[in-house]
Amino acid sequence: MANSTRLQRKDILIRGLQMLLFGFFINLGLTIIGFLALVQFFWLLINREKNLFIANLASDLRDWFGQAIQFILVASDYKPFPWSKI
């Protein structure tokens, strides 16, 4: 019984570290998104058309953020990238 409780605590601590890491990734991602939004704005201003790479990146980022938030809030056990394939 003590060994099982110890294993459960270890699993919870590992998940907590992963949650902390995903929280860091989310904050880093928001900084990158802000920079990309600024680049996209100036791209539109200068070229009068959107940057397709940045526009297409939006759906991938949306999916990753959704998966990461679900993992952090324990709504899902699915671990997004880098623990799974993109």
Q: Is residue 86 part of a domain?
A: no
**CA pair distance 86, 84, nearest whole angstrom:** 7
Q: Is residue 82 part of a domain?
A: no
Q: 3-class SS at 81?
A: coil
Q: Is residue 85 part of a domain?
A: no
Q: Is residue 68 part of a domain?
A: yes
**Count of domains forming the chain:** 1
Spatial contact of 20 and 71, defined as CB atoms under 8 Å apart: no
**CA pair distance 17, 76, nearest whole angstrom:** 16
Q: Is residue 81 part of a domain?
A: no
Q: What is the pLDDT of residues 39-81, one digit of tens each?
A: 999 999 999 999 999 999 999 999 999 999 999 999 999 999 8
Task: Show the domain range for 17.
Answer: 2-72
Q: Is 80 left (phi over 0), alpha (psi -120 to 50) or beta?
A: beta
Structure tokens belonging to residue 5:
């409780």
Q: Is residue 84 part of a domain?
A: no
Q: Residue 1 pLDDT > 60, yes or no?
A: no
Q: Is residue 13 part of a domain?
A: yes
Q: Residue 6 pLDDT > 80, yes or no?
A: no
Q: Is residue 80 part of a domain?
A: no
